[in-house]
Amino acid sequence: MTARETLTDFIRKDAGRLGFSAVGIAPGTGDVAAGPRLDEFIAKGRYGTMGWMPETAERRRSARALWPDVRSIVVLGMNYGPQDDPLAILQRPDRGAISVYARHRDYHDVIKGRLKELAGRMVAKARQSGLGEHDAKVFVDTAPVMEKPLGEMAGLGWQGKHTNLVSREHGSWLFLGSIFTTLEMTPDAPGRDLCGSCRACQDVCPTDAFPEPYKLDARRCISYLTIETRKPVPQEFRAAMGNRIYGCDDCLAVCPWNKFAGKASEAKLIAREDLNAPTLADLLALDDAAFRALFSGSPIKRIGRDKFVSNCLIAAGNSGDATLLGAVREHLTDAAPLVRAMAIWALARLSPEDALQRRSAALDREDDPVVRSEWHALQGP
């Protein structure tokens, strides 16, 4: 084998040693394949409140726009396949449904360290092999990198109709990271779209977030609504959220290619027992300190207690569980306007008469316009 072939073989084996399930090489030159989709996504405002999307669009279209010296990109995937049916929790309305990827340690912390180790060993191996001095940079959701299109370009799979990467071997359950390098490496053949006529991911979406196959409107996506935006979830989507309190796995879980997927083997990516099906009653009792303690080391910690509890209140309103009324009423006077607003909605769902009886007195002491709008939205005299 040539020195470059030996290096590529070393990268693949070392990636496996570090727990990566898939590895491929994409060219660092040229535009990212999904550039036109990104342009349409931005032009139609489908990014919602994620203002960084249009701001970083130019850098997303090309790896060289992000780092002019890049020549090759090593794209890696780590399997986080669930241990059980991820949709079973949706049948337990008194529990909170947390997306599979967030039921364990923050994947950024797990993967970034492995990427750095691999990048360092790769550069050292290149030097030892007579390929000269080279640089490398690692990325895992920390820069405007379009990991999913790059994963397709590197042959890890293809970007499916739900816009996520699909792998023949791992289905939809792959965390992605990348190593940009100045090394000239032979790219792998790009992935081939094998979605065919399947519409499972489109049809299962509770909020119709896919205007067309391969196109997502984030403003309608439950993952966006429960994680990315700090605005109140629009009325039209709250009932459809059910008990989903952080993210949504529906479009991923129904993909037929998941029949080939295995379960996560990395211990830090196996779900914590207390996050598999937490009770809404316990979650609604969280103050800021308890929230931070419960979600220490978890990606959920990033959205903050107020947003999280507001999501739980929507789930409580959808639960039909009258035993949650006490907790809901307590949040009518919460310090956070977002929490108060969603408590009103939840109360109106669980006990419409009670909500109407409280409206007049509540409006007399409420100054926040968002909270006042929730009281005014109640149906009744």
312 is in an annotated binding site: no
User: In this predicted structure, what is the pLDDT of residue 135?
Assistant: 96
Instruction: Confirm if 336 and 306 have CB atoms less than 8 A apart.
Output: yes
46 is in an annotated binding site: no
165 is in an annotated binding site: yes
Q: What phi and psi values does residue 154 have, to the nearest 5 degrees?
A: -90, 0
Q: Measured in Å, how far apart are the chain's first and last C-alpha atoms?
A: 81
User: In this predicted structure, what is the pLDDT of residue 33?
Assistant: 66
288 is in an annotated binding site: no
Supply the residues annotated as catalytic: 141
Q: Interior CA angle at 114 toward 113 and 116, to 5°?
A: 65
23 strand-pairing partners = 76
Q: At what angle do helices 337-350 and 304-319 cross, to 10 degrees?
A: 10
176 strand-pairing partners = 77
79 strand-pairing partners = 174
Residue 173 tokens read as: 């359950």
Give the number of other CB atoms < 10 A from CB of residue 117: 14
User: In this predicted structure, what is the pLDDT of residue 270?
Assistant: 73
3-state SS class at 323: helix
52: confidence class by pLDDT, cuts 50, 70, 90: confident
Note the pLDDT tens digit of each residue in 245-284: 999 999 999 999 998 887 777 767 777 888 989 999 999 9
Q: At what angle do helices 3-17 and 107-128 cross, to 10 degrees?
A: 150
User: In this predicted structure, what is the pLDDT of residue 381?
Assistant: 64
Note the pLDDT tens digit of each residue in 88-108: 999 999 999 999 999 988 888
The pLDDT mean for the chain works out to 93
- CA–CA dist 49, 151 (Å, integer): 26
Note the pLDDT tens digit of each residue in 100-158: 999 988 888 889 999 999 999 999 999 999 989 999 999 998 788 889 999 999 999 99
- Torsion of the alpha carbons at 59, 62, 64 and 66, rounded to the nearest 10: 20
Question: What percent of the chain stands above pLDDT 90?
Answer: 78
Higher pLDDT, 58 or 68: 68
Radius of gyration of the chain (CA): 23
195 is in an annotated binding site: yes
Note the pLDDT tens digit of each residue in 153-178: 999 999 999 999 999 988 999 999 99
Does the structure show a pLDDT above 80 at 34? no
